[in-house]
Structure 1
Amino acid sequence: MAYHTTTVSTDAELQQILQLQAENLRTNISAETQQQQGFVSLQHTLPVLKQMHDIAPSIIAVDGDQLAGYALTMPRECSHIVPDLAPMFSSFDQTPWNGRLLSEYRFYVMGQICVAEAWRGQGVFDALYQQHKTSYSKGFDCIVTEIATRNLRSIRAHERVGFKTIHVHQDELDEWAVVLWDWS
């Protein structure tokens, strides 16, 4: 399988993201699959994805007409689009890093990353993040996200790319590791 990374440019690609997201949503897969393959925690809608992509297009990996994976771009301006994530954005602003608050840095949030099962283990995850760095590192100091601490596959994959855990916190849903990839 030969894939390449690019930015989202069509509604059909957004629909493919929604389909892959649904297939890997924590509530739609078994606990065993969650542990072995990872999972995503939040489900978006097409109008929400369109608004996000109007602000900053997300990165996708495609193989022909098949979506191999996606990595959602969420600058701070997206915090009002997904109200469930507003507390996360607020929390990030108050998170210390390198002796300053994150709010003092130019950062954006990795809204979600997911690789289709047929392309797992083929470097898609890393390629999605490398494309993020290529596309957005001139305008941002770092990229930040949070991962459920029980999603060990995702934590290991993020560490492999270059993310470091800068904070851990608990909310009503889960325990979360806040991870950051420094581009400065």
Structure 2
Amino acid sequence: MITYTTSKNDKDLQQILQLQKQNLAAGLTAEQIASQGFVTVMHSFEDLKKMNDIEAHVIAKDDDRVIAYLLAMTNQSRFDIPVLVAMFEMFEKISYQHKKIADYRYIVVGQVCVAEGYRGKGVFDTCYAAYSHNFKNKYEFAITEIATRNQRSIRAHKRVGFETIHEYTAPDGEEWSIVLWKW
């Protein structure tokens, strides 16, 4: 039976990291990336725990095994993961409804992943329902960035209700969409 909850202990965090490692773009074939999606950042246990101590990550578990996660990241963590600093800097430059993103109370979906075998079964959508339930009274919206070549993720986020508010090309040539979900 699948349950939706938040990460509560080191075992949950270790299982998030295991699922993350299995879905890193660097370890996948072009076909897997195109059909199944991918994650970009590999977090350290310490960074994941620091983020979780501020706001708990949303997870789906099948019995006692983490089969999906949505990381919760606040502005407090902006300097903890160097590769994401540029995203937070972008939030100081781009606007949503005539106001800089940085001037809102927002939560960043630090990363999303659903284990193979559980995709296409509503786990993604139910995780986001839990995410909204946990954070909608504290934050005005959820925001994240998705590599545009990750079309599976782009489509899934759009289905849940995210809208693209900005697109840019990073110095390494990767194209990104910044997407926002106004609860």
TM-score of the superposed pair, with normalisation by structure 1: 0.97
Q: Deviations over 1:34-64 (max 9, x none)?
A: 0000000000111111111111110000010
Query: What stretches of structure 1 of length at least 5 have no aligned partner?
Result: none
Which deviates further from its counterpart, 157-166 or 47-56?
A: 47-56
Letter in 1 for 2:126: A
Q: Distance in 2 between matches of 1:160 and 1:39?
A: 18
Q: Deviations over 1:14-44 (max 9, x none)?
A: 0000100000000011010000000000001
TM-score of the superposed pair, with normalisation by structure 2: 0.97
- 1:63 is matched with which residue? 62
- 1:119 is matched with which residue? 118
* Aligned ranges 1:11-160 → 2 under 5 Å: 11-160=10-159
Q: Deviations over 1:86-115 (max 9, x none)?
A: 111111232111111112211111000000
Q: Distance in 2 between matches of 1:4 and 1:94?
A: 38
Q: Distance in 1 between matches of 2:108 and 2:19?
A: 20
Number of aligned residue pairs: give it. Answer: 182
Q: Deviations over 1:100-154 (max 9, x none)?
A: 1112211111000000002111111111111110000001010000000111000
Q: Distance in 2 between matches of 1:109 and 1:92?
A: 11
- 1:177 is matched with which residue? 177
Q: Distance in 2 between matches of 1:164 and 1:115?
A: 21
Q: Secondary structure of 1:117's match?
A: coil
Which deviates further from its counterpart, 90-99 or 19-28?
A: 90-99
Q: Distance in 1 between matches of 2:125 and 2:131?
A: 10
Letter in 2 for 1:130: A
Q: Distance in 2 between matches of 1:178 and 1:80?
A: 19
Spell out structure 1 runs of 4+ moving beyond 6 A: none
Letter in 2 for 1:21: Q
Query: What stretches of structure 2 of length at least 5 have no aligned partner?
Result: none
